[in-house]
Amino acid sequence: MQKSLLFIPGPVAVPEPVLDAMAKPLINHRGPEYARLLHSIADRMRSIFATKGDVLLMGSSGTGSLEAAVTNMFGPGDTVLACPTGVFGERIAAIAKMWGCTVEMLTHNETSTGVQIDLRAMSRAIGDHPAYVVVDSVSGLGASEFKMDEWKLDVVCAASQKALACPPGLAMIAVSSRAWDKIKANKAPRFYFDLQKHKEFFDKGEPPWTPPVSVAFALDVAIDLYEREGPRNVWARHARYTDALHAAVKALGMEIFSRDGVHSVTVTGILTPQGLDNKTVLTKLLHEHGVVISGGQGKMTGKMWRWGTMGAISETDMADALGAFEIVIRQMGYRFADGAAVNAALDVFARAGEKKLVGVS
Ligand SMILES: Cc1ncc(COP(=O)(O)O)c(C=O)c1O
């Protein structure tokens, strides 16, 4: 059987110890063992968000945390500023509009375009303005420096299946004390994603509803691995893989969708050059080489490939996948210097360590 190399922007390839944790016998989610697990995960997630606020876990994908953020923070008639940078920014805007708000929030890392906004700069620009800042960092959190409290973010949404390299099933939502005041004052209805109910149960060491217990086992181990590697090394790894991929794309004479200064380190958007059929490349990569990357979304469907750089992938996996990409595009008539992409990536990996990570304080 051909090995599958998963380079989509989530869910990502998961390390074996994390997968193994999912096979553990189930436990009572209202017993002391789950209480310890829940509190330990939340405590350690607090340092990944860099917040002294609360981190709550919800049994859902990332979209659940977006819905929770909107329905708990806002009510019909509220005004919210919209700054979408792609499909997921539009999704949270759609939730807010459905909720009757004239709103939107910030998408830290836009998975549909490979654009990452500079939250530090954004926070400086917002200054002391009293607006609440709600951030979708579903595909950003953990992959690069993140400072929820320092950047004065009120609510931050994340999910298990991205940079933390865990299977999908748990969403995390970090809530500042200022946001709690707003949530308590907000009378709009909510039930499954009622954050006050989640907090009330969390304080007793329980989830309000039956959680994906096996995913919680996995997340516990995923955070162990994250801590063992060390946040700075994790950030450097994502930056290095992205640098390697960018070098490879440029060496092929192709264009990256995002501009310098706003590149995501978890997903790269590669514009499909004239003469290559977007979908055929994806199909050939999958069926002939076991390499899985994603196509474009929304307006960019058929015009872009999205290549994820999160999860349990090695430098040699990356070289393998780029080699497969070269074979496919060459067979389809695209011209470039033999080995250009693979060599460019290998060069970045070989030089790794010499380069200082930029933007990390
Ligand atoms: C930035 C961003 N926001 C929200 C979501 C939605 O998350 P989910 O698919 O886990 O519901 C995603 C998923 O890829 C995402 O990348």
CA distance 76 to 70: 10
- With a CB cutoff of 8 Å and minimum separation 6, the contacts of 28 are 34
- How many CB atoms neighbour CB 337 within 10 A? 11
Stronger pLDDT, 207 or 86, i.e. the higher one: 207
Q: What is the DSSP letter of 276?
A: S
Mutate to test the pocket of ligand 1, among 111, 113, 137 (most ligand atoms within 8 A of CB): 111
**Ligand 1 center from residue 62 Cα (angstroms):** 5
Average pLDDT value for residue range 36-49:
98
More confident residue, 274 or 357: 274
Q: Note the pLDDT of residue 130.
A: 83
Residue 80 has pLDDT above 80, yes or no: no
Q: What is the pLDDT of residue 246?
A: 98
199-212 pLDDT, tens digit each: 999 999 999 999 99
pLDDT at 103 over 50: no
**Mean pLDDT, residues 17-38:** 98
C-alpha–C-alpha distance, residues 305 and 280, integer Å: 11
CA of 88 to the centre of ligand 1 (A): 7
Residues 53-68 have a mean pLDDT of: 97
Mean pLDDT (whole number) for 22-40: 98
Q: Is 40 exposed, middle or buried (0-12, 13-18, 19+ CB in 10 A)?
A: middle
Across residues 221-247, what is the average pLDDT? 98
Ligand 1: centre distance to CA 325 (Å):
26
Model pLDDT for residues 256-265, shown as the tens digit of each residue: 999 999 999 9
113 band by pLDDT with thresholds 50, 70 and 90 = very high
In sequence order, what are the residues at sequence separation of 6 or more whose Cβ sits closer than 8 angstroms to the Cβ of residue 182? 73, 132, 154
Cβ neighbours around 249 below 10 Å, total: 23
Please tell me the distance from the alpha carbon of residue 266 to that of residue 188, in angstroms, as a whole number. Answer: 35
What spacing in Å lies between the alpha carbon of 110 and ligand 1's midpoint?
Answer: 9
Ligand 1 centre to CA of 122 (Å) is 21
Q: Which of 119, 139, 155, when mutated, tests ligand 1's pocket best, judged by the most ligand atoms within 8 Å of its CB? A: 139
Compute the distance between CA of residue 88 and CA of residue 211 in angstroms, rounded to an integer: 25
| For residue 156, pLDDT beyond 60 | yes
pLDDT given for residue 153 in this prediction: 94
Ligand 1 binding pocket (C-beta < 6 A) is: 10, 61-63, 88, 107, 109, 111, 136, 138-139, 159
Mean pLDDT across the stretch 151-162?
96
Please report the domains of the chain, with CATH numbers, ordered by start residue: 5-9+231-351 (3.90.1150.10), 16-229 (3.40.640.10)
Contact present, 200 and 34 (Cβ < 8 Å) = no
Q: Band the pLDDT of 95: cuts 50, 70, 90.
A: confident
Q: Is the pLDDT of residue 300 over 80?
A: yes
What is the per-residue DSSP string for 110-135?
Answer: ETTTTEE--HHHHHHHHTT-----EE
> For ligand 1, what atom is nearest to the CA of residue 63?
11
Distance of CA 219 to the CA centre of its chain: 15
Candidate from 15-29, 64-78, 189-203, 314-328 with smallest mean pLDDT: 64-78
Among 39-53, 82-96, 138-152, 188-202, the minimum mean pLDDT is found in 82-96
Beta bridge partners of 156: 135, 174
The CA 1 to ligand 1 mean position distance, Å, reads 30
Tens digit of each residue's pLDDT (9 = 90 or more) over 262-294: 999 999 999 999 999 999 999 999 999 999 999
Chain segment 304-355, per-residue pLDDT in tens: 999 999 999 999 999 999 999 999 999 999 999 999 999 999 999 999 866 5
Quick one: which atom of ligand 1 is closest to the CA of 108?
1
Element (H, E) at 232: helix 231-251
Nearest 5°: the CA angle 32, 155, 96 is 115
Do residues 102 and 73 touch, judged by C-beta distance below 8 A? no
Q: What is the mean pLDDT of residues 244-253?
A: 98
Distance 322 CA to ligand 1 centre (A): 25
Mutation choice for ligand 1 from 12, 60, 63, 115, CB with most ligand atoms inside 8 A = 63
Residue 222 pLDDT greater than 50, yes or no: yes
Say what the pLDDT of residue 1 is: 44
Q: Which atom of ligand 1 is nearest to the CA of 171?
A: 10
User: What is the distance between the alpha carbons of residues 165 and 238, in angstroms, rounded to a whole number?
Assistant: 12
pLDDT at 5 over 90: yes
What are the pLDDT digits (tens) for 138-152?
999 999 999 999 999
Residue with tokens 């405590």: 43
Percent of the chain with pLDDT over 90: 83
Specify the ligand 1 atom closest to the Cα of 111: 16
Task: Give pLDDT, residue 170.
Answer: 98
Structural Rg of the chain based on CA atoms: 21
Separation of 355 CA from ligand 1 center, angstroms?
31
